Structure 1
Amino acid sequence: MSGLAGKSVIVTGSSSGIGEATAILFARKGCNVTLCGQDSGRLQEAEEKCKQAGAAGGHTNRFIAVAGDMTDSGVRKKVVQDTQAAFGRLDVLVANHGVLMGGALPDLSEIDYDTTMDINLKSTVFLIKEALPYLEMTKGSIVCVSSIFSTMTGPNLLPYFLSKAATDHLVRCLAVQLGPKGIRVNAVNPSGVNTRIARFLGDSGDPDAVDKVFGPNTPLAGQASGAQEQADVIAFLVSEEARFITGQCLVVDGGLGLKGNPFNWLPQQGSS
């Protein structure tokens, strides 16, 4: 993947999982990286990993971290302004932050609905708005992390499904709107990825639940995706090789979705 060295990148939700793997990959590619997350301890650990990854290129000082809740307009503003102040430019925005919560309609609370939509959708919209003037200067690129469940149905997680469907359409709408400005907007749509957000699977937060549930049902290699598979595609989408790709929601699921809706065979919460 060419054209990444020297670019300045914001990766939200980068204290673990897909975001952390993406931030580290950009560090390895010679990028300046702003990491964002709510857990300051894990965020610091992720920043240290970026410094180690970037050490070979002699740029351990090209990383900053901003801790905070992306639903806070002040935090969104700080993320963008601190990036501009530290690196003098913004080339790439990866909107990876998100939450997975909420149940079926009879049990759905307004709090869970509002929290999910605020984190997964609203904060992404207004983070992009905050970053837009700087992305215009560099003819930059945006990648949103969506989900294969954006086009599927299920018995639970209603607000999550809705937020990801809206994210896909946000990508399409912004691609049309921002294309004339030279800004590309795409998404990756993972299936079950072995990250902290999927701890709801299995009993007692089993760290191997994703592999156990999704792995045997994934046609490609019979294993669930790791964070690195998603990070590699994100990096491709903002690279020079993807310069004519915009408005696309790229499914990265090892063929899982080809077997039909996973919620036809996924175990329900609390089931054995």
Structure 2
Amino acid sequence: MRRFDGKVVLVTGGSQGIGQGIARRFREEGARVFTAQRGQDAEFEGIEADLSAPDSPPRVVAEVMERAGRLDALVNNAGMMREARVEDMSLADWQFNIAVNLTAPFLLIKAALPHLRATKGAIVNIGSIEGIGCNPQHASYSATKAGLHGLTRAVAVDHGEDGIRCNAVAPGWIDSELSEIYIESMPDPVAFRQKISKIHPVRRTGTPADVAGLVAFLCSEDNGFITGQTYTIDGGRTVQLPLP
């Protein structure tokens, strides 16, 4: 199935983890894929950018247009987390989290809208189940992801008349290089893996490919009537009540 033949997709943070899985799925379905992140990307047409800087998002979109001449889908995947409770978090850390996780998607969408209007394109924002709930010491991360879900709804309402659909995906625990490092840092990684599996009704953690399939559907012509929605993709974790 090649739903994106002749189309151009921009995925931020596309050189690793969830973003890489999304970029690979679009490529498999025929898209020309650009990624944007701090470092280089040897696999795709990478654009080096510090997305915390406000001049980077419009420059990234302009470069895609200069090199490809069109834009059919924008996936705002890049994100970061600085852990602290509210009373322990510095203003600098709070503002940096907002800059990367919320302001950068806003600026990318703002720059991309004229081009997506021309192609009747789609936007998918990668939120989190922490935009719905929250883990300890994740005040800024949770706030930014909840804000990204809200921005998704606003863009859908304001730009549906332009033929642009905007949705969000809220992943739970997804296997990645960072999650693997975290697991291996535990005193008993084997026991921790078993514990993590048990909090998911499907008895496994997710993969970037799991997320990529949903993102591709939301950006495809198979989806013509879904917009403004946030899709939880967490193996049932958030609907399973803990035992008393």
Normalising by structure 2, report the TM-score: 0.91
Post-superposition Cα deviations, 1:104-156, rounded to whole Å, max 9, x if no partner, equal: 12221212211111100011101110111111111110000001111113321
The residue correspondences of 1:1-272 to structure 2 (distance < 5 A) are 3-40=3-40, 43-44=41-42, 46-47=43-44, 64-198=45-179, 201-202=182-183, 204=185, 211-220=193-202, 222-260=203-241
Query: Separation in 1 of the partners of 2:153 and 2:26?
Result: 25
Check 1:39–1:204 CA distance in 2 against 1; reply closer, same or farther (3 A cut).
farther
- Contact 1:141 / 1:185 at 8 angstroms: preserved in 2? yes
Q: Tell me the number of residue pairs that the alignment of Structure 1 and Structure 2 aligns.
A: 242
Partner SS, residue 4 of structure 2: coil
Question: Counterparts of 2:149 and 2:129 in 1: how far apart (Å)?
Answer: 10
Q: CA RMSD in A?
A: 2.3
Shift in CA distance, 246/2, structure 1 to aligned 2, threshold 3 Å: farther
1:53-94 Cα shifts (integer Å, max 9, x gaps): xxxxxxxxxxx2101211223322232112112221101000
The amino acid that maps onto 1:217 is I
Say whether the 8 Å CA contact 2:2–2:29 is kept in structure 1: no
Equivalent residues of 1:148, 1:189 under 8 A apart: yes
Q: Which runs of 4+ in 1 moved over 3 A?
A: 196-206, 208-213
Distance 2:178 2:91 in 1: 21
Q: Does structure 2 conserve the Cα–Cα contact (< 8 Å) formed by 1:144 and 1:187? A: yes
Structure 2 alignment gaps of length 5 or more: none
Using the alignment, how far apart are the partners of 2:4 and 2:238 within structure 1? 31
Q: Aligned partners of 1:33 and 1:244: how far apart in 2?
A: 24
Q: Is the 8 A contact 2:125 2:167 kept in 1?
A: yes
* Deviation for aligned residue 1:201: 3.9
List alignment gaps of at least 5 residues for structure 1. Answer: 48-63, 265-272
* Same amino acid, percent of matched pairs: 32
The one-letter amino acid of 2:54's match is: S
> For residue 56 of structure 1, what is the aligned residue in structure 2?
none
- Contact in 2 for aligned 1:102/1:109 (Cα 8 Å): no
Amino acid at match of 1:228: A
> CA offsets, 1:174-224, max 9 Å, x none?
100010111000011100111245468446389x7985553221101x100
In structure 1, distance between residues paired with 2:195 and 2:18: 19
| Structure 2: distance between partners of 1:253 and 1:68 | 30
Give TM-score scaled by structure 1 length: 0.82
Seen in structure 2, the aligned counterparts of structure 1 residues 212 and 67 have a Cα distance that, compared at 3 Å, is farther
My pick for the range that moved more, 79-88 or 249-258, is 79-88
